[in-house]
Amino acid sequence: MAKRRRVALMLELNWPFKRHHDVFAGTQQYAQEKDGWECIVDAQAQETLAGPRRAKVAYDGIIARVTPQLAEAARRAGVPIVNVWTSSPVRDVPLVLPDFAAIGRMAAEHLLGRGFRHFGFLGFTRQRSNRASHLAFEGMILEASRGT
């Protein structure tokens, strides 16, 4: 049997955001399907990588909401890292995100399909994810209003 890969997950699961839990659920599903990952929830992965336990807790990779401190610790340890945080200040690691424009279009299609004709959007438009969803939502609504 091939060696199981040890993957650290640093996802802030104590926050009440569905997307954090969905990323966790996706990693668990993948780990079960491939039977090649041992997933370790490590809320302080940057300290684990830099600390005295590093040799005992070696990771083959990390999936995280990447902070500058974690990115630096992973670089020093030679551990590959994948970022799942839309607003992360770290820009030089692979980033995996949902299709936020598709989310906005789906929301608009759902409301239009239910016959609504007055709309609003609630979100933090300073965040890239909300801005993309808002623009796509608004575009679908405007397109539908021109078609009627």
Query: Residue 40 and residue 10: Cα distance in Å, rounded?
Result: 9
Alpha helices in 17-127 (DSSP H): 18-34, 45-50, 68-77, 100-113
Cβ(8)–Cβ(62) below 8 Å: yes
Chain-centroid distance, C-alpha 45 = 17
* Burial of residue 139 (number of CB atoms within 10 Å: 0-12, 13-18, 19+): middle
List pLDDT tens digits, range 98-128. Answer: 899 999 999 999 999 999 999 999 988 788 8
pLDDT tens-digit profile of 38-59?
Answer: 899 998 888 888 876 665 668 9
d(CA 32, CA 36): 8
Tokens of 21: 């839990």
User: What is this structure's pTM?
Assistant: 0.79
Confidence of residue 129 (pLDDT cuts 50, 70, 90): confident
